Amino acid sequence: MNNKLNQTMAPTSESKDSRQRTGQPWNDMHSEALESMSSQQRDVRGMGSMLSKASQVFILTDENVAPFWLPEVAYWLRCDPAVDIIIKAGEEHKNLQTVQRIWKTLMKHHADRNALLVNLGGGVITDLGGFAASTYKRGIKFINVPTTLLAMVDAAIGGKTGIDFGGGKNQIGTFAEAEEVIVDPVFLSTLPRRELLSGMAEMLKYGFIVDANLLNTSLENYQDYILRCGEIKREIVAQDPTEKGLRKILNFGHTLGHAIESHCLAIDHPLLHGEAVALGMLGALWLSVKQCGLDKKVLKEYEKQLPVLLSEAEMNLTKSDVEPILSYLALDKKNKGEKPQFVLLEAVEKPIWDVEVEPKLVSDAMDYTINKVSSL
Ligand SMILES: NC(=O)c1ccc[n+]([C@@H]2O[C@H](COP(=O)([O-])OP(=O)(O)OC[C@H]3O[C@@H](n4cnc5c(N)ncnc54)[C@H](O)[C@@H]3O)[C@@H](O)[C@H]2O)c1
Ligand SMILES: [Zn+2]
């Protein structure tokens, strides 16, 4: 099995015409994005044999992505007629019920072990689809076609699949590699700005832990760095597929980030994952300065990026949120014993993992974080 990042081209003008004939919604940005790339030829050579070997092709997507991209991608992969499986959008549907629906559709169409599932969507779709495919008849092949920035740089790569269960995120899942991950920024033309910023936070994460160049990521240039992020994730995963050590650095900003994300969900002011990670990285940088000798300038530079990163977040965190956020830390499944484990930085590109931090310092880091963002 391989997990190659294919930089594929946008659909041809021919496919665009066929798409328009379907009478689907067609916004200007979407249309412009296709226009600007319409002179390029598709390159799906690597995919051709896999698609032709498949006994049947199924495309899993959600209700937001389908109107923009489903007919396009079906044509583009030359897998028309494929069986479409369109599910409701959102994390709340990343559950066993939806997986059952996918399994039932596969069964209804007599999908055998040579069937192929194309996961077209954000991280919810690639996680769900990867899980459904890797368990159906003990595993069928699947391809990820990520359509959010977060999925392009993170979720669609690395072989972790899963669903939420029993009130917890990603409690049930498998390690299963996609046959291909097809990354094309054209899909981002229809993605809401808030989602784009959430993905950018994960890109900055790679900047802190592996490649300082990525700290220059901005709304103007993020497309230039997408493939580099994928490369980094693949390299790390190849060295430590099951997260015994090195892979933990991908959790930079996530210890506090997950706690903030859970708390904000509980108080009905949900944050996007990348927004919570943006806050978690602020806390982790502060802790790195205090405990690991990180140069304070790194923290200060990051603080200049925060207003943009969080510009679309609906956030009204105050000091009274610190306590409940800290109580979520205790639930972090990655914790060992009493003390939360952090990924911290000695310097940019020099992460250390499994770092224990005294509870008082963690609480001060949360105070600092909340203070900072409430003054934005
Ligand atoms: N497996 C992993 O290694 C891994 C890593 C990180 C995150 N994740 C998972 O990824 C999920 C989050 O992924 P996400 O941020 O992509 O969320 P998502 O899949 O919910 O997508 C965000 C929203 O954007 C919409 N959307 C997607 N593409 C679009 C497009 N091109 N145009 C318009 N709308 C579009 C979706 O319908 C959804 O409403 C979480 O469930 C998380 O657990 C998994
Ligand atoms: Zn993340």
What's the pLDDT score for residue 330? 79
Task: Please check whether residue 158 is in contact with residue 237, taking contact to mean a CB–CB distance below 8 angstroms.
Answer: yes
User: Among 166, 189, 212, which residue terminates a domain?
Assistant: 189
Residue 364: strand, helix, or coil: helix
User: Among 122, 157, 189, which residue terminates a domain?
Assistant: 189
DSSP state of 242: T
Cα 54 to Cα 79, 80, 81, 161, 219: the distances in Å are 10, 13, 13, 21, 39
Q: Domain residues for 168? A: 9-189
As a whole-number percent, the residues of the chain with pLDDT over 90 amount to 74
Lowest mean pLDDT among 71-75, 286-290, 309-313: 71-75
Residues 210 and 222 in one domain: yes
pLDDT at 5 over 80: no
User: Buried b / exposed e across 240-253, counting CB within 10 Å, b at 16+?
Assistant: eeebeeebbbbbbb
> Any idea what the CATH number is for the domain that residue 31 is in?
3.40.50.1970
> Residue 224 — pLDDT band, cuts 50, 70, 90?
very high
Does ligand 1 lie within 6 Å of residue 190's CB atom? yes
208-233: average pLDDT: 97
Residues 244 and 344 in one domain: yes
The H-assigned helical ranges of the chain are 13-21, 28-37, 45-53, 66-76, 96-108, 123-135, 149-150, 193-209, 226-239, 254-266, 273-292, 296-309, 322-329, 359-374
Q: Is residue 250 part of a domain?
A: yes
pLDDT at 24 over 70: no
Atom of ligand 1 nearest to the CA of 148: 28
Measure 199 CA to ligand 2 centroid, in angstroms: 9
Q: Whose CA is nearest to atom 16 of ligand 1?
A: 122
Residues 6 or more apart whose Cβ sits within 8 Å of residue 105: 58, 83, 85
Task: Please check whether residue 333 is in contact with residue 251, taking contact to mean a CB–CB distance below 8 angstroms.
Answer: no
State the virtual CA torsion across 314, 319, 324, 326 in degrees, nearest 10.
Answer: 110
What's the pLDDT score for residue 77? 78
Does ligand 1 lie within 6 Å of residue 278's CB atom? no
Atom of ligand 1 nearest to the CA of 94: 41
pLDDT tens by residue, 109-121: 999 999 999 999 9
pLDDT tens by residue, 88-107: 999 999 999 999 999 999 99
> 0.85 exceeded by the pTM?
yes
Q: Whose CA is nearest to atom 2 of ligand 1?
A: 155
